[in-house]
Amino acid sequence: MNRQYFGTDGIRGEVGTPPMTVDFIMKLGWAAGKVLSKQGRGSVVIGKDTRISGYMFESALEAGLAAAGLDVVLLGPMPTPAVAYFARAQRASAGIVISASHNPYHDDGVKFFNGAGFKLSDDIELAIEDMIDKPLVMVKSEAIGKASRMDDARGRYIEFCKSSIPFNTTFRGIKIVVDCAHGATYHIAPVVFRELGAEVIELGVKPDGLNINKDAGALHPDNMRSVVLESQADIGIAFDGDGDRLLMMDSKGRLIDGDQLLYIIAMSKLKDRKMAGGVVGTLMTNLGLEHAFEKAGIPFERAKVGDRYVLEKLVEHGWYLGGESSGHIICLDKTTTGDGIIAALQVLHWLVVNNIGLADACSDMNLYPQTMINVPISKKMDPQSLPVIQDSVKAAESELGDRGRVLLRASGTEPLIRVMVEGQDGVLVDKLANELAACVSDSA
């Protein structure tokens, strides 16, 4: 069945434009409530990031769920992974996050977790979509759901994050710049690191409903870099608006991306003899990481782009560690979804235990030069089906040999073909990427 509303990560769009309208979100809450209530009356936990539309959509979801007969527990501003945690901890029927992640304030979205803290299955999402098209019929008055607020949600989640590393771990003597993107981690992440002993310099912790992700956080690390250098901090940590991804920075202002963080965590587990199985990346994962894992004897597989697909492959293999270059890191031995704070804690713990710097921890992994070119197209096309493009791809792959790779894929959100070439020789990579982009453009 084709999805009408759900994408790979819930429902998202511009506020005031379908589907992100009050009436639709209330209907979505009711539809989800009707599907979930088939498992028996239960509760749904709702969290949100800091964008101004969150209050409005929170009320709409609460009304729809109550009309379907489900109780609601309101968490207030909470990172996306915190909602997954509370869905599981509260034995709820589901968790709902109101967030558009790294998008600007004028966008918003809704994503779901099941009672075990994992994203909803395709069958449940399709059942909800089917229910949306049915007339809204309320339960009887005595069966209407009730709403309550969890006043201690912030403190409980802070303690959960801290519990993901050994009890005797301390970050005393470490100066950390923490950039929360004026998003959902603003009142949580600085407290976590400070309570573990670090000296914390806070950035992006003054949300006003309109400034989430604006010139701050993981998408805009330049401000953090200047503060790291000026304050002579040891490390910088930047989260996105909903806290499910991060980037880190060393004392010299050098960015450490998701691939490098994944390498650090994997090697820490390998050396502690806690590496269970292999690691899952995506089609965009740097080839240097794959080669580093091959050298270390760690199995590695690629999933489609999106943390949903990384998680699916982890579950399929019974592995625990996966992630994306963008900074979504999934540690299934700690929690059920990508969690920026918990991933940062795993990295920091390893640095403290070994008394090494961030850059040193990933020095054995070489990121290969990568060139990405977005080629506009006027009509939908599959680059894999055109012989002239495939001949060019084969020629590029032959020239790269085992020292690089080529990836062409259609964008899922824009009329673009993304041409990516990476390899050990940056000059060759750039030349081949431009040649392939020209070939795709001529064929568009």
Query: Whose CA is closest to 193, among 149, 232, 151, 239?
Result: 239
Query: Whose CA is closest to 371, among 439, 274, 284?
Result: 284
Residue 224 and residue 350 share a domain: no
Residue 229 and residue 194 share a domain: yes
The CA angle 188-190-196, to the nearest 5 degrees, is: 100
Residue 397, domain CATH: 3.30.310.50
Q: What is the span of the domain harbouring residue 222?
A: 157-253
1 domain-assigned:
no
Residue 15 and residue 143 share a domain: yes
Is residue 422 classed as helix, strand or coil in its secondary structure? strand
165 domain-assigned:
yes
354 domain-assigned:
yes
Residue 172 and residue 129 share a domain: no
Contact 258, 301 (CB under 8 A): no
Give the pLDDT mean for 407-435: 90
Which residues are CB-neighbours of 98 under 8 A, at least 6 positions away? 46, 47, 48, 49, 53, 54, 57, 58, 61, 108, 109, 110
Last residue of a domain, one of 193, 226, 253: 253
Residue 325 and residue 196 share a domain: no
4 domain-assigned:
no
Query: Whose CA is closest to 377, among 422, 419, 429, 433?
Result: 419
Contact 121, 315 (CB under 8 A): no
| 18-38 tens-digit pLDDT | 999 999 999 999 999 999 998
390 domain-assigned:
yes
25 domain-assigned:
yes
* φ and ψ at residue 35, rounded to 5 degrees: -70, -45
**How long a stretch of residues is the chain?**
444
pLDDT score recorded for residue 413 = 63
Last residue of a domain, one of 342, 361, 380: 361
Check whether 412 has a pLDDT greater than 70. no
Region of 147 (left: φ > 0; alpha: ψ -120 to 50; beta: rest) is: beta
2 domain-assigned:
no
Report percent pLDDT > 70 for the chain: 99
Check whether 384 has a pLDDT greater than 90. no
DSSP, res 215: T
Last residue of a domain, one of 218, 253, 288: 253
pTM to 2 decimals? 0.93
Residue 388 and residue 350 share a domain: no
Check whether 1 has a pLDDT greater than 70. no
CA torsion sign for 219, 441, 309, 369 is: negative
The single residue of 101, 164, 326, 392 carrying the catalytic annotation is 101
Residue 263 and residue 238 share a domain: no
Packing angle of the helix pair 258-271, 340-354 (nearest 10 deg): 50
Residue 176, domain CATH: 3.40.120.10
Q: Is 93 assigned a catalytic role?
A: no
User: What six digits make up the tokens of 334?
Assistant: 């700690």
Contact 94, 84 (CB under 8 A): no
Contact 218, 101 (CB under 8 A): no
Residue 387 and residue 270 share a domain: no
First-residue to last-residue Cα distance in the chain: 29
Confidence class of residue 380 from pLDDT cuts 50, 70 and 90?
confident
DSSP, res 235: E
Confidence class of residue 276 from pLDDT cuts 50, 70 and 90?
confident
List, in sequence order, every residue forming a beta bridge with 111; answer none if it has no partner.
97
Contact 116, 335 (CB under 8 A): no
Residue 66 and residue 174 share a domain: no
**Does an H or E element contain 158, and which?**
helix 153-162
| 174-216 tens-digit pLDDT | 999 999 999 999 999 999 999 999 999 999 999 999 999 999 9
User: What six digits make up the tokens of 42?
Assistant: 């239960």
Distance CA 264, CA 327 (A): 13
List, in sequence order, every residue forming a beta bridge with 201; answer none if it has no partner.
177
DSSP, res 7: B
Which residues are CB-neighbours of 9 under 8 A, at least 6 positions away? 101, 109, 111, 119, 306, 307, 308
Residue 17 and residue 142 share a domain: yes
* φ and ψ at residue 198, rounded to 5 degrees: -75, 155
| 3-14 tens-digit pLDDT | 889 988 899 999
Residue 66 and residue 141 share a domain: yes
Distance CA 328, CA 157 (A): 19
Residue 130 and residue 47 share a domain: yes
